[in-house]
Structure 1
Amino acid sequence: MQIEEIMLELREQGVIAPHINTWKALSGGTVSTVYALISDGEPTLVVKINDPKTVRFESSYLRAHEGNPLFARVVYIDADYRYFVYTYQPGETEYPRDRKAETLQSLVSEVINRSIPMVDSSDFGYADEPSASWKEFLMLRYQWAQVTIDTRLSSADHKLAQQLIYSTQDQALQYLLHGDCGVHNFLFQQGQLTGVIDPIPTIGEPLYDLIYAYCSSPDQLDTETIQQAVVRMEPKFTIGRDLPREVLIGLYYRIATCILHHPQDIEQYMDAWEYWKKRR
Structure 2
Amino acid sequence: MTLAPRIYATIQHLFMKGIIETVELRDKPESEEDGKRTYLLTADGKPKYALRMDTPENVAMSEQLYKAYPDSPLLPKLLYADPVKGYMVQPYVDGTAGESREARGSKKAWLPLLVTELLNRYETDEAGGKWGRLTEPCSSWSEFNERELSKARENLGGLQPAEDCERVALLLEPLAEAGGKYLLHGHTDARNLVFRSKELVGVIEPRPTAGPVLYDLVQAFCSTPDDLSLEVLFEAYAQLTSQTVDQERLVQEALLRVYCTMGVRAAEGSAELDEYIAAWQFWRMLLPEA
For normalisation by structure 2, the TM-score amounts to: 0.89
* Alpha-carbon distance between aligned partners in 2 of 1:170 and 1:240, rounded to the nearest angstrom: 16
**Structure 2 partner of 1:157:** 164
> How does 1:46-57 map onto structure 2 within 5 Å?
46-57=50-61
CA distance in 2, matches of 1:272, 1:165: 21
1:35 to 15, 26, 39: 39
User: Among 190, 195, 198, which residue is 1:191 paired with?
Assistant: 198
- CA gap of 1:23–1:147, structure 2 versus 1, over 3 A, is same
Equivalent residue, structure 2, for 1:206: 213
Residue 247, structure 1, aligned to residue 254, structure 2: yes
More moved, 190-199 vs 7-16: 7-16
Q: What's the CA shift for 1:172? A: 3.0
One-letter code aligned to 1:52: P
> Displacement, 1:97?
5.4
**Which moved further from structure 2: 126-135 or 116-125?**
116-125
C-alpha contact 1:93 1:188 (8 A) present in aligned 2: yes
Does 2:251 correspond to 1:256? no
Give the letter aligned to residue 84 of structure 1: M
Cα distance change, pair 262–103 in 1 and its aligned pair in 2 (3 A): farther
* Residue-by-residue CA offset, 1:47-67 (whole Å, 9 max, x unaligned): 100111001101221121212
CA RMSD, Structure 1 to Structure 2 (Å): 1.9
Distance 2:284 2:234 in 1: 16
The letter for the 1-side match of 2:120 is N
- The structure-2 alpha-carbon separation of the partners of 1:236 and 1:44, relative to structure 1 and needing over 3 Å to count, comes to same
DSSP-derived class of the 1:74 partner: coil
Instruction: Rate the CA distance shift 1:254–1:88 in 2: closer, same or farther, 3 A.
Output: same
Q: Distance in 2 between matches of 1:121 and 1:240?
A: 30
Q: Is contact 1:21–1:38 with CA below 8 Å preserved after alignment? A: yes
Give the match for residue 59 of structure 1.
63
> What residue ranges of structure 2 are gaps of 5+ in the alignment?
none
1:192 offset after TM fit, Å? 0.8
- Counterpart of 1:74 in structure 2 is 78
**Preserved contact between residue 132 and residue 141 of structure 2 (Cα < 8 Å):** yes
> 1:214: Cα distance to partner?
1.0
Deviation of the 1:239 alpha carbon: 4.5
Stretch of structure 1 that moved more, 109-118 or 167-176: 167-176
Partners of 1:145 and 1:43 lie apart in 2 by 37
Identity score, percent: 27
Total equivalences in the alignment = 279
